[in-house]
Amino acid sequence: MFEVELKLKIEHSMVIPYLEGLGFYLVGEEVHHDIYLNAPHKDFGVTDEALRLRQSNGKSYLTYKDKKINPRTKTRREIETPIILDDMYDIFLSLGFKETLNIEKKRIKYKKKDISICLDSVKGLGEFVEIETMADSNLNIYENQLLEILKTMNISEDKLISKSYLELLLDNGQ
């Protein structure tokens, strides 16, 4: 599967008034504790990949993110599976992986069909909005669909950010 995502550094108050009118409903709030790892055999920062262990609301996941296919929309292949966090963390450290960074964020999630709008508050970075969906083909159709939502909210494509939270935090020297 591919994750098709638009990310913006924008105050949540700029988006919230549009959500109900666009047919999005509140799913709930999540707290994410993410541990990013780097491989001993290649540098994920150079290859534009990511390996993440996430704990969120009592559940844990391992996520691999491949290189971005379209940096404007942050489209990339993503594989995610449930895990036992401590065991998986120990396995990776035993294999020579190194912890890159921990990221904490609060996420308020809205949904409409297969599209999510996430209002993220990232520790050390501030407020962001992600508009995302998963797709297995016809990526351009999904990208255009998300860009249309952005237009409906009167937000310019110039505000799109192609970097991940990890990249933004590393750029800030964390």
pLDDT tens-digit map of 96-121: 999 999 999 999 999 999 999 999 99
pLDDT of residue 112: 97
For residue 127, pLDDT beyond 90: yes
Q: Residue 54's beta-bridge partner residues?
A: 34, 61
pLDDT of residue 174: 82
For residue 70, pLDDT beyond 90: no
| Residues 6+ positions from 106 with CB-CB distance below 8 Å | 29, 30, 31, 32, 120, 121
Q: Which CATH number goes with the domain that contains 154?
A: 2.40.320.10
- The letter for the amino acid at 167 is E
Q: Enumerate the active-site residues.
A: 36
Number of domains observed in the structure of the chain = 1
For residue 72, pLDDT beyond 90: no
Q: Which domain holds residue 133?
A: 2-171
pLDDT tens-digit map of 27-45: 999 999 999 999 999 999 9
